[in-house]
Chain A
Amino acid sequence: MKSAVIVFPGSNCDRDMAEGLRIVTGKAPTMVWHRETELPEGLDLIAIPGGFSYGDYLRSGAMAAQSPVMRAVKDAAERGVFILGVCNGFQVLTETHLLPGALMRNAGLSFICRDVPLTVENSQSAFTARYGAGEAVAIPVAHHDGNYQADAATLDRLEGEGRVAFRYAAEVNGSARGIAGILNEAGNVLGMMPHPERAVEDAHGRTDGRRLFEGLLEAVSQPA
């Protein structure tokens, strides 16, 4: 699987993501600096990592969404390339309008950094195919702005179309309807606050994130 990790000034989970991808897929991703206007040829997956791009100035992800590389990421998304945005990456995807809604300050105002229980809501996507529908997993979160909000019509649509990939199994940050991760309409873009790349090997204490990357690996190795 050919993957790339986008690096913004202030990204700080880019190496976690690269290491997670290397461990699970056996191939290190290309690191792409945000000033690039073109992506490497033939990518299967583009990962937008966690962190605090541009110091979260204005709004989390708002400045990164205007970066030159995001134009190329948008084009790739339209071509069906898999896009995974984790944490700040999820915020960037909403600010880029590749995903609906917005991520606001946690309802309790605290930065939350711990393992959280999640329910896999949709096990049909390439990202979640290796999980069972309704399966309980635990993946760490580390965020200040993870409170997912959208208007009721958008939330209804997300739920109705099976685009809620993960839900918090217990209250974490005030997210509307407990949403932890959502898919775009075509199913090739996933944004999620929990960090699957931090739960891929035994040393992490948990390996529930591993199957997300395995599912993608399987999806891209199948002939179209």
Chain B
Amino acid sequence: MKTRVYVTLKNGVLDPQGKAIHHALEGLGFSGVNDVRAGKLIELDLDPKVSDAEVEDMCRKLLANTVIENFKIERVGAAA
């Protein structure tokens, strides 16, 4: 089963990479970009027996650093 984990910086944590991307977009002439936050997408192909709680445990123990990051788990369905 395909599962997506989105790891994003917590609100209020300065995101230098997002800022640099924001500047670059403005440099390209794109207007109306109010803010940019960069994060990570981690795709897991999981055995159906892996529970939601286990995925959450994976996030807390390794995939995200909860000091600075939030995570969101999205169960996508059977792997293609």
Instruction: Give the interface of A toward B (CB within 8 A).
Output: 58-59, 62, 66, 94-95, 100-102, 104-109, 147, 149-151, 174
Instruction: Give the interface of B toward A (CB within 8 A).
Output: 13-14, 16-17, 20, 62-63, 65, 67-68
The reply to whether A104 and B62 contact each other, CB–CB distance below 8 Å, is no
Give the total number of A-B pairs whose CB atoms are below 8 A apart. Answer: 36
Q: Inside 8 A of B63's CB, which chain A residues have their CB?
A: 58
A95 to B63, CA, bound (A): 11
The reply to whether B14 and A174 contact each other, CB–CB distance below 8 Å, is yes
The reply to whether A62 and B13 contact each other, CB–CB distance below 8 Å, is no
A104 to B69, CA, bound (A): 11
Given known contacts A58-B62, A62-B62, A66-B62, A106 and B67 CB-to-CB distance under 8 angstroms: no
Closest CB of chain A to B61's CB: distance in Å? 8
The reply to whether B13 and A104 contact each other, CB–CB distance below 8 Å, is yes
Cross-chain pairs A/B with CB under 8 angstroms, 26 sampled: A58-B62, A58-B63, A59-B65, A66-B62, A95-B65, A100-B67, A101-B67, A102-B65, A102-B67, A104-B13, A104-B14, A104-B68, A105-B16, A106-B16, A107-B14, A107-B16, A109-B20, A147-B14, A147-B16, A149-B13, A149-B14, A149-B68, A150-B67, A151-B67, A174-B14, A174-B16
In chain A, what residue has the closest Cβ to B67?
A: A102
A37 to B16, CA, bound (A): 37
A141 to B7, CA, bound (A): 29
Closest CB of chain A to B69's CB: distance in Å? 8
Closest CB of chain B to A16's CB: distance in Å? 27
A60 to B63, CA, bound (A): 12
The reply to whether A108 and B16 contact each other, CB–CB distance below 8 Å, is yes
Q: Inside 8 A of B13's CB, which chain A residues have their CB?
A: 104, 149
Q: Inside 8 A of A109's CB, which chain B residues have their CB?
A: 16-17, 20
The reply to whether A102 and B16 contact each other, CB–CB distance below 8 Å, is no
Most-contacted residue by chain B among A147, A149, A150 (CB, 10 A): A149
A104 to B38, CA, bound (A): 13
Other than A104-B14, A105-B17, A106-B16, give 9 A-B pairs with Cβ distance below 8 A.
Answer: A58-B63, A59-B65, A62-B65, A94-B67, A104-B16, A109-B17, A147-B14, A147-B16, A174-B16
Most-contacted residue by chain B among A59, A62, A174 (CB, 10 A): A59
A110 to B70, CA, bound (A): 25
Q: Inside 8 A of A104's CB, which chain B residues have their CB?
A: 13-14, 16, 68
Q: Inside 8 A of B14's CB, which chain A residues have their CB?
A: 104, 107, 147, 149, 174
A94 to B69, CA, bound (A): 14
Q: Inside 8 A of A151's CB, which chain B residues have their CB?
A: 67
